[in-house]
A and B are shown apart, each in its own frame.
Chain A
């Protein structure tokens, strides 16, 4: 990536939680609580076909039988699932022909986020599917993508217009029985994104979705399904910001990626949900199931920069089913104040000659707890497979924790698995060296941390790289004890 450090050190201005605001759009909400009727209500609101309703009801039935997992290295008050509203949609429901029809308040919101659609359209060639309170209200570049046969739309639209694709692939990577949160999501998901890249097509632009929780007490249950047909390529960006709130908000998304033979998917996330205040009050619970499956000679690459959420539970994974397929996971996770993160990946090697790489950089500050949890599994048939994992942790204070829980399971003698991890304090010598050269402590920390995380940041698309750097700096402000 051509992103250099030169420009980015220049003006990283003042940054309090600049996205911490609440936009004032009237919402239509479902009554709080969860039962079969609510599931039916959500489905009927969205005019869904019977098969979709059946899927939701079956998922709900499974969910009721399950209990919330507690193996992660996090402590929090379990959400009261009967005290959440499972559906909320902006009141304005008619089809939008142009930006003029968009609620001006919403436009202002987008401006604050720095993603004015007009600008995005003209300047960066990024198609933005803006998800606000679970329903897509603005989509651009659809026609241009349409010419190539690329489908990029909201999940609801896909259910209506591309039922065959949805039926075939939904739940094929993350079955509704997979875990507690994915079952819940499968029952009540509100909306999300759907993307299909046809055979042999190279998507000419970065596809981007901005998520946003915007209604107090509204759980957000996004569903993303991305299918890259044979020999196609797509780079997908997902970024989140959330307004400051006093009460906990639950976010339980499901993302499924399907890379068919020789296809490549690059999925990048900058996650900046509201982490709670400096005292640990409020903040988003982020319980996400992300998984991709690889066909013959295909490749899935997850890159994530995680700075937000009060509690994170997230393991973007790859099932390397096809021979010669490749899985990658690059992650920077920053926790500050009272944040808790339990995040990592799973690389399941099934095919022969499969390869995976894991680079995880954890940074703990304040009184936070930051854990890496990862599984590398080499199946019996995964001949000549290789994995390399590097998991580093950087500690900023004596009150925080950094933990590493790797699981390595190898059942084939021709495989090679290497795992390395280090945990250390931010270098006092490095700090002093920088300061001797006239770089203030705060700046020096940001410089060192960015250097430490560079291997991962470099994997991000240009637009995200700069934003990610800013986020790291914001997240670590005043973090040194």
Chain B
């Protein structure tokens, strides 16, 4: 019997006056991989932002229960400490702040929250060496400023590297495949697969079925107008690739 990780109920949210999520329901157990697909503007990226706690979006209804706790009022950092990780579609550049310093700060802040001592430099560096190997991150990139001057592929790898360092319970990969060539895609997917365990879960948000060849989902959800309108197994993704989304839209209207 698998253990419940997150349960989203009737989630509604808006930005400015525009309603985006309109009653979204989703349950994810530990050990599972979920893919969320859907046409442009269906609310995929909004969902990831809302789960991570971006306060540009106002949650107007519903609940998000993460590991037995309601988190919809929680700050982004606290969610992060609890094990939520978002791999950004467009990773942000922070000039002058090295990747290493950034991660060390992140880890120590979490330790502080849990009343644990700061991680000793030696141990930290060992961890960096191990985890960066996972995605073949160039050593130089670790000492460069966060994402500054990184290529598209380097940025995405850096996201997975950070994910490995923070070891989250729930990882949301927001269009991590966009802008990646096939080799980079394999490396990123390989990293994600290695991090998979019976204790964590992954949500893959994507446009294309391609990524799902490498990160195989247990469930595929189709998002449309802020709602999940169909759920299936990985064959649904193949079907979508062939037929597009229109047949589903008409379906849901009936």
Contact = CB atoms under 8 A, between A and B. Distances in A.
Task: Say if A and B assemble together.
Answer: yes
Interface of A: 5-6, 9-10, 427, 429-430, 432-441, 443, 447-448, 450-455
10 contacts: A9-B101, A10-B118, A433-B88, A433-B94, A436-B77, A437-B77, A438-B77, A439-B102, A441-B77, A448-B97
Contacts of A434: 94, 102, 106
B43 interface: no
A6 B96 contact: no
Given A437-B166, A451-B97, A429 B104 contact: no
B109 interface: yes
B95 A439 contact: no
B106 A437 contact: yes
B109 to A, nearest CB: 5
B80 A430 contact: no
A453 B77 contact: no
Contacts of A437: 77, 80, 102-103, 106, 162, 166
Nearest to B124: A6
B95 A438 contact: no
A439 B110 CA distance: 8
A288 to B, nearest CB: 28
Contact of A451 (B81, B95, B108): B95
B14 to A, nearest CB: 18
Contacts of B86: 436
Nearest to A455: B96
Given A5-B101, A6-B101, A447-B102, A439 B109 contact: yes
Interface string B101-136: 111111111100100001001000000000000000
Nearest to A456: B96
Contact of B105 (A9, A432, A436, A453): A9
The list of the 4 closest CB pairs from A to B, nearest first, reads: A451-B96, A451-B97, A438-B80, A454-B96
A440 B110 CA distance: 10
B191 interface: no
Contact of A447 (B81, B84, B93, B97): B97
Interface centre among A6, A433, A447 (most CB of B within 10 A): A433
Contacts of B121: 6
A435 B96 contact: no
Contacts of B118: 10
A435 B95 contact: no
A10 B108 contact: yes
B54 A432 contact: yes
Interface of B: 52-54, 75-77, 79-81, 84-86, 88, 91-98, 100-110, 113, 118, 121, 145, 162, 166
A427 B80 CA distance: 20
Given A438-B81, A438-B109, A450-B97, A433 B145 contact: no
Given A5-B98, A437-B80, A430 B92 contact: yes
A433 B92 contact: yes
Contacts of A454: 95-97
Nearest to A8: B101
A214 B66 CA distance: 56
Given A430-B93, A436-B52, A448-B97, 10 more contacts: A5-B97, A6-B121, A9-B105, A427-B92, A434-B94, A436-B86, A438-B107, A451-B94, A451-B97, A454-B95
Contacts of A435: 53, 75-77, 80
Contacts of B101: 5-6, 9, 447
B106 A438 contact: yes
Contacts of B91: 433
A40 to B, nearest CB: 53
Contacts of A438: 77, 80-81, 106-107, 109-110, 113, 166
A450 B121 CA distance: 21
Contacts of A430: 92-94
Contacts of B109: 438-440, 443
A5 B124 CA distance: 14
B203 to A, nearest CB: 15
A9 B79 CA distance: 22
B90 to A, nearest CB: 8
A432 B51 CA distance: 13
B94 A448 contact: yes
B226 to A, nearest CB: 21
Nearest to B165: A437
A448 B107 CA distance: 17
A438 B145 CA distance: 18
Contacts of B145: 451
Contacts of B96: 450-455
Contacts of A448: 94, 97
Interface centre among A443, A451, A452 (most CB of B within 10 A): A451
A6 B100 contact: yes
Contacts of A440: 77, 109
Nearest to B162: A437
Given A10-B108, A443-B105, A436 B94 contact: no
Nearest to A432: B54
A452 B146 CA distance: 12
Nearest to B82: A438
A107 to B, nearest CB: 33
A451 B102 CA distance: 10
A240 B121 CA distance: 33
A441 B84 CA distance: 17
Nearest to B103: A437
A28 B90 CA distance: 64
Contacts of A447: 94, 97, 101-102, 105
A5 B75 CA distance: 26
Nearest to A5: B101
A435 B113 CA distance: 13
Contacts of B103: 437
A438 B79 CA distance: 8
B191 to A, nearest CB: 17
A447 B98 CA distance: 10
